[in-house]
Structure 1
Amino acid sequence: MADRLDTPSERKFKLFRRRSSGDGFGQFAEATARFMGSPKFILYMTIFVVTWIAANVILYRVSEQYAWDAYPFILLNLAFSTQASYSAPLILLAQNRQDDRDRVQAEQDRQRAERNLADTEYLTREIAALRIALQDVATRDFVRSELRDMMADLREELDARDEKAESIDNDNPADLSTPRTTES
């Protein structure tokens, strides 16, 4: 128990838990830049500015004390300046993140192209080897012609044997009736 006293224990209940992704601000910057580049943002901003100006002009005409931002609209200008000073770095951060993603994607595309090139070169070499090997293989026409030649040779041999057998039969007709005996 004493060895545990020198190390602090972890709190079981944390009031503010930090998310595990350390890139939350970058995601926030991208979401903000994406929203600020949308038509919805332009519409909301236009409605806000028209409402701001209309309210201040109407309230100024009713009584000068109710208008919180009179004609030069200095407070509105300050709000726009503040928005611009925050949105520009957020947009740049989002662009940097997109550049990093594009760089990674380009590297992956380059590696994929190298693999495709290597595969294509390998297949080209294999096809060339097959073509060379097929040059040594007999073609169907060659095999047919060889078989025809062999059949013709066999027919000639058979015809020659038949003729020889007929000539032997014609020369010795009496020998067929008497059985042959072999002398040992």
Structure 2
Amino acid sequence: MKIDHNETGTISNSADNAIPPDHLRFQLPYLHLTRAFGNDWFALKAEEFARFFGTPTFLLSQTLIVVVWIGLNVARVIHFDPYPFVLLNLAFSLQSAYAAPMILLAQTRQADRDKAFSDADARHRDALAMAATRRDKALAHQAEQIRALLQQNTELTALTRELAEQIAALTQGVHEKLMRERHVKAFSQT
């Protein structure tokens, strides 16, 4: 089935049967914002890397590396970075030089995504509110029509009762007249 989005926000298939709009229609324009760094291979790895900085695994492994680094150099088992640990400081600086911009970029992109989805949700809520208002107006109009029909029904019922009483009275009068005429005929024949 071929699905087309038309200008009114509804979705139609190839048979031209209208399908009601889906609840995610306001988010569709923002699907390109799903990843912090984009959708290519580098972007996926960069996002994984930026997300890894805030995990307990990263903090524990970095602490373990620093303890081993300092322990090996203080104990002079491997003496590649003596006491002021300039090389360790350089490694931290290099890590910070890459980590900070990546984290800031991820936060900025996340803020953009949050704002876009918030705007889309607001438009969706507005659309729902307008639809609810239209339904409420339609229901009020139908309720008014039902009240008018009930009033007409009540009036017609009263009119029917009145006519039925008149018919009953006329029938009774005709019956009495016929009975009198029969009685007079029967009396006159005797």
Q: TM-score, normalised by structure 1?
A: 0.70
Match of 1:132 in 2: 144
Structure 2 counterpart SS, 1:59: coil
**Of residues 112, 121, 132 in structure 2, which corresponds to 1:100?**
112
**In 2, Cα distance between equivalents of 1:26 and 1:109:** 27
In our comparison, the structure showing a higher alpha carbon Rg is 1
**Of residues 68, 71, 76 in structure 2, which corresponds to 1:59?**
76
Q: What is the CA distance between 1:118 and its match in structure 2?
A: 1.6
Aligned partner of 1:32: which letter?
F
1:152 aligns with 2:165: yes
Q: What is the CA distance between 1:81 and its match in structure 2?
A: 0.6
Q: What is the CA distance between 1:154 and its match in structure 2?
A: 2.8
CA RMSD of aligned residues (A): 2.5
Higher strand share: 2
Q: What is the CA distance between 1:98 and its match in structure 2?
A: 1.1
Equivalent residues of 1:56, 1:68 under 8 A apart: yes
Match of 1:39 in 2: 56
Q: Identity rate of aligned residues, in percent?
A: 32
**In 2, Cα distance between equivalents of 1:161 and 1:102:** 87
Match of 1:87 in 2: 99
Q: TM-score, normalised by structure 2?
A: 0.68
Aligned partner of 1:58: which letter?
A
Structure 2 counterpart SS, 1:37: coil
**In 2, Cα distance between equivalents of 1:97 and 1:79:** 27
Identify which of structures 1 and 2 has the higher relative contact order when contacts are C-alpha pairs closer than 8 Å and 6+ apart: 1
**In 2, Cα distance between equivalents of 1:155 and 1:122:** 50
Equivalent residues of 1:57, 1:70 under 8 A apart: yes
For each residue in 1:120-159, what CA deviation from the matched residue of structure 2 results, as whole angstroms up to 9, or x when unmatched? 1211221221132123112576665554444333322221
Equivalent residues of 1:69, 1:75 under 8 A apart: yes
Aligned partner of 2:42: which letter?
F
**In 1, Cα distance between equivalents of 2:102 and 2:132:** 44
Structure 2 counterpart SS, 1:115: helix
Match of 2:28 in 1: none
| Shift >3 Å, 4+ stretches | 21-26, 139-151
- 1:155-174 aligned within 5 A: 155-173=168-186
